[in-house]
A and B are shown apart, each in its own frame.
Chain A
Amino acid sequence: MELLNLNIPSWSDLAYWRPEAILCGTFLAALLGDLIGRGRRPAISFVISVFGLITAGAYSVAAVLHGGAAHTIMGDLIIVDGMAAFFRLLFILAGLATVLFSWTAEEIMGRKRENKAEFFYLTVLMTAAMMVMAEARDLLMLFLSMEAVGLVSYVMAGYMRTSLRSTEASLKYVIFGAVSSGIMLYGLSLLYGMTGAMTFDGIRAGLLAGEVNGLSLLITVILILAGMSYKIAAVPFHFWCPDVYEGAPTPVAAIFSVGPKAAGFALMIRFFYTTLAAGADPSASAPLIELINWPLLMAVIAAVTMTYGNLVALRQLNVKRMLAYSSISHVGYLLMGFVLLTDAGLAAILFYLAVYTLMNLGAFFVVVALNNHIKSEELDDYAGIGFRAPWLGTMMVIFLASLTGVPPFAGFAGKFYVFTAVMDRQWFWLAILAALNSVVGLYYYFRVVKAMFLTRPAEGADTTPLKIHWLQYTVLAVLAVPTLVLGFWFGPLKVLADQAIGLLSTGM
């Protein structure tokens, strides 16, 4: 009996893991820079973070260009493949945009008592942890990476530590997070007991080899889904989402709404695709999915999530809270790709996630830029703001139209692929429900546009043009241009997403 099946990690493994290693180093360097500056020089940490993220991004791009097969590193705990490369780029984009934009955000830089540098290096650390989430291929790494992202985000949600709302947001986040990850861990332990394996491949082999009881597998999957749907904020684990987004500083809410969500989806794709669905032999995969009635389970979660998010968003008068509920409904659309665990559906999720990252970050950043001037996120205070900051208003219209899914914008292409993926397999009721939901979305997204451009400001209100920092315009333009262009020129991104999933199914 061999007690330890050790596969000793070697230094050469780091060659495939450069972006993550660079980000970890960046985190330490920025922390050190903050200590040298005695907490009064956030610029040091800011510059180090930006350079670290750009370097890591350059290495990630190089890895995509080189392509190549999947590599299992760090003693079989981590796999670096096409999907990992895809998510690396996505997370670095989100992290870099957030760090750059926060430099001019009053909610971060205008605070008196907080250490501003903390925000920058915590964002870098969170980016690194999210990248590991997309690379985990073992239960140990799955749990460790999820907790790493969680711990950083609890702290970031409570960044404004003297603010009542920020503290409450982080308290709710940490309590819900700890409970749901505990429930997930219990589910993982049951899965380990059923199959006697820690790696995803081993779990799949164990499930196929042994006589698995359908009911116990269903209970286990539901327990695991509890932890994961908390990360992506799917109903019924969405309670924290609106409160945290409203209470946390807006730049933090911006990265929460795209980063951990996308990382949660990456983890779900790799975990459930590897354990339940087979890439190579579809004949063997059907029983496992059918055994627990996975399609119906996911279809119901997706339908409830999108409908709930949309209906509650209708009533919101706070733009941040409205965006929080809208992000819940987008999780519903994304979950549609999971219903059949097919390559087409998963590639559609990747495509939609990329588009969603661009447009949702953009919408949140516009809220940050406006908050710098009007110190409010209430819809009433947005009256006539479009004329005081015409470019900002125009970009908000682009992001909101794309979130709605109106044809010339990227959101339409994303929705199109997800919808066709379910319609291919005759899930018409789900597609019709999603289409109806998109129409509902039109109402609350365009209420913001209406407030900005069609409503007169109150008597005696300030009507001077707003001065927007050039850095903010640059970041917003970098997000808005692809949101427009990807609407009609989406081929390359689609190819990248297809390749990422294709490698996932053959790389085992």
Chain B
Amino acid sequence: MMDVGLSHFVVVSALLFCLGLFAVMKRRNAVGILMGVELILNSANLNFVAFSRYVQHTIDGQIMATFVIVLAAAEAAVALAIVLAMFRNFGNVNAATATSLKR
């Protein structure tokens, strides 16, 4: 049996963060990009919870994580509404096609 310590959490969250960043850069689909953002937010959440358990020994970090979960939901609602508006106007949800504005 291996003891799970702080470093394990931090490594997992760093991996999640990198995966999320990779998804954001690689995906062309707007919904795919938003999924990458969720990964990034959750990697930070994992950090907050782990640090609150191992470093600070209070629940400040867990409260923060709870708020972030709620905010992530609110942000997803707004972002998906905008993606829906984009689908109505452009006929697809590919972020690369939204180039009507000058470069």
Contacts and interface: CB of A to CB of B under 8 A. Distances in A.
A167 B89 contact: yes
Contacts of B47: 186, 189-190, 192-193
B58 A192 contact: no
A246 interface: yes
Interface in B56-92: 56-61, 63-64, 67-68, 71, 74-75, 78-79, 82-83, 85-86, 88-90
Interface stretch (A28-36, A136-144, A494-502): A136-144
For chain B, what secondary structure do more than half of its interface residues adopt (helix, strand, loop), or is it mixed? Answer: helix
B37 A182 contact: yes
B19 interface: no
Interface string A178-216: 110011011011101100111000000000000000000
A4 interface: yes
For chain A, what secondary structure do more than half of its interface residues adopt (helix, strand, loop), or is it mixed? Answer: helix
A5 B58 contact: yes
Interface string A144-166: 10010011001100100111110
B101 interface: yes
Interface stretch (A124-132, A169-177, A401-409, A457-465): A169-177
Nearest to B16: A186
A151 B78 contact: yes
A15 interface: no
A168 interface: yes
Given A140-B64, A164-B90, A178-B79, A3 B40 contact: no
B78 A196 contact: no
A168 B100 contact: yes
- Find the residue from A172, A183, A242 having the highest chain B CB count within 10 A: A183
Interface string A384-427: 00000000000000000000000000000000000000000000
Interface string B7-49: 0001001000100110010000010011011001101110110
Interface in A1-30: 1-5
B40 A183 contact: yes
A247 interface: yes
A190 B71 CA distance: 19
Contacts, number: 136
B102 A185 contact: no
Contacts of A139: 64
B83 A321 contact: no
B27 to A, nearest CB: 10
Nearest to A152: B78
Interface residues of A, number: 48
Nearest to A196: B56
A162 B61 contact: no
B58 A175 contact: no
A318 interface: yes
B11 to A, nearest CB: 13
Contacts of A246: 101-102
A175 to B, nearest CB: 6
B98 to A, nearest CB: 4
A343 interface: no
Nearest to B62: A3
B89 to A, nearest CB: 5
A22 to B, nearest CB: 24
Contacts of A183: 21, 40
B89 A164 contact: yes
A243 interface: yes
Contact of A179 (B37, B55, B56): B37
A454 to B, nearest CB: 26
A162 B89 contact: yes
Contact of B68 (A5, A185, A198): A185
A42 to B, nearest CB: 21
- Find the residue from A162, A168, A197 having the highest chain B CB count within 10 A: A168
Nearest to B60: A198
Contacts of B63: 140
A139 B61 CA distance: 10
A197 B13 CA distance: 19
A164 B48 CA distance: 40
29 contacts: A2-B58, A4-B58, A140-B60, A140-B64, A143-B64, A143-B68, A147-B75, A150-B75, A154-B82, A162-B89, A167-B90, A167-B98, A168-B86, A168-B98, A168-B101, A170-B82, A174-B79, A174-B82, A178-B75, A179-B24, A183-B21, A185-B40, A189-B48, A189-B51, A192-B51, A192-B60, A193-B55, A246-B101, A321-B102
Interface of A: 1-5, 139-140, 143-144, 147, 150-151, 154-155, 158, 161-165, 167-172, 174-175, 178-179, 182-183, 185-186, 188-190, 192-193, 196-198, 242-243, 246-247, 318, 321
Given A4-B59, A192-B56, 10 more contacts: A1-B57, A147-B71, A162-B88, A162-B89, A164-B90, A171-B82, A175-B30, A185-B68, A196-B55, A198-B61
